[in-house]
Amino acid sequence: MRRLLFLGPLLCAPRAAWAVQRHTGEGLVAHVIAHVALAGAFGFLGWRVLRDREARGRPLGWGAALFALWSLWALTSHLRPGSWLLARDHLVLVPALWLVWVGLRRMARGEAR
């Protein structure tokens, strides 16, 4: 109950939280390179895990593939700010986090499915 009393005023008076930031100059170049490298790494991980066809690793593979998609989506949102759709990158990021968590948990427990 105390948590609700604490969170209530915060939820009733939200402020803008800008997740997409503009980068300029060398910062933009480094950020673009980082997004491309991250997309490549996660894409390769997803491909390798899904190629093995082991059932318990499947969520990890799909989560890695979604992370690669998210990285390219976020890269596009940095280059083309102001787009309502591109600012909704959490629609890909949240399922990616969940799938990676489920896949790692299954692999740690040694579950078959």
Q: What are the tens digits of pLDDT across the range 57-69?
A: 789 999 999 999 9
Tell me if 66 is assigned to some domain: yes
Q: Is 23 contained in some domain?
A: no
How much is the pLDDT for 79? 79
The domain total for the chain is: 1
Would you give the DSSP letter of residue 57? G
Q: Is residue 81 part of a domain?
A: yes
Does residue 12 lie in a domain region? Answer: no
- The pLDDT value given to residue 68: 96
Tell whether pTM > 0.75: no
Structural domain range at position 109: 39-113
Structural tokens at position 72: 């390219």
Note whether residue 93 is domain-resident: yes
**For residue 76, which phi and psi values (nearest 5 degrees)?**
-65, -35
